[in-house]
Amino acid sequence: MDKQNRRDSPRYSITLYTEFVEREASPARILNMSETGFLICGDICAGAGGIIKASFKVRPSSGDMSVSARGKVVHARRVDSGEYEYGVKIIGFGRPDEEEAYHAYVGELSRTVKPR
């Protein structure tokens, strides 16, 4: 089975700046996102199976909203820049309206950005 077929939903390339909340607000970037998760890159090393909390801003057409998401690291690797990339499966949001804004944003990406 190839990698694409194992995914729950398509990924959309995007760059959002974020921070790992529980790690003294360490900066990071979201490189792509989907309905079920995102790929994040930063200088914090978290192993597969770990739980992270990230805070970032989404921009659905309804307006900007800060979103706090918790996720489980499903894979992690060190990249050439010395940073780490993590595939994160979302397991929860801070509030229901944050979840709605996240899904609205990904829905808009699905109509404007070609999936990876």
Where are the domains positioned within the chain? 13-112
- Kindly tell me if the per-residue pLDDT of 15 is higher than 70: yes
- Any idea which residue has 């999936």 for tokens? 115
φ and ψ at 104, to 5 degrees? -65, -40
> pLDDT band at residue 1, thresholds of 50, 70 and 90?
very low
For residue 96, the model assigns a pLDDT of: 95
To which CATH superfamily is domain 13-112 assigned?
A: predicted glycosyltransferase like domains (2.40.10.220)
Alpha helices in 13-85 (DSSP H): none
Structural tokens at position 65 = 């909203």
- Kindly tell me if the per-residue pLDDT of 19 is higher than 80: no
3-state DSSP percent of the chain in helix, strand and coil, to 5 = 20, 50, 35
Q: Kindly state the average pLDDT of the residues 97-102.
A: 92
- Kindly tell me if the per-residue pLDDT of 74 is higher than 90: yes
Integer-rounded Cα radius of gyration of the chain? 13
Q: Name the amino acid, one letter, at 22.
A: E
In degrees, to the nearest 5, what angle opens at C-alpha 11 toward C-alphas 19 and 113?
Answer: 100
pTM over 0.85: no
Q: Which of 26-30, 93-97, 109-113 has the lowest mean pLDDT?
A: 26-30
Instruction: Measure the CA–CA gap between 70 and 61, rounded to whole angstroms.
Output: 24
For residue 21, the model assigns a pLDDT of: 61
Q: Higher confidence at residue 17 or residue 61?
A: 61
Beta bridge partners of 9: none
Instruction: Measure the CA–CA gap between 90 and 95, rounded to whole angstroms.
Output: 13
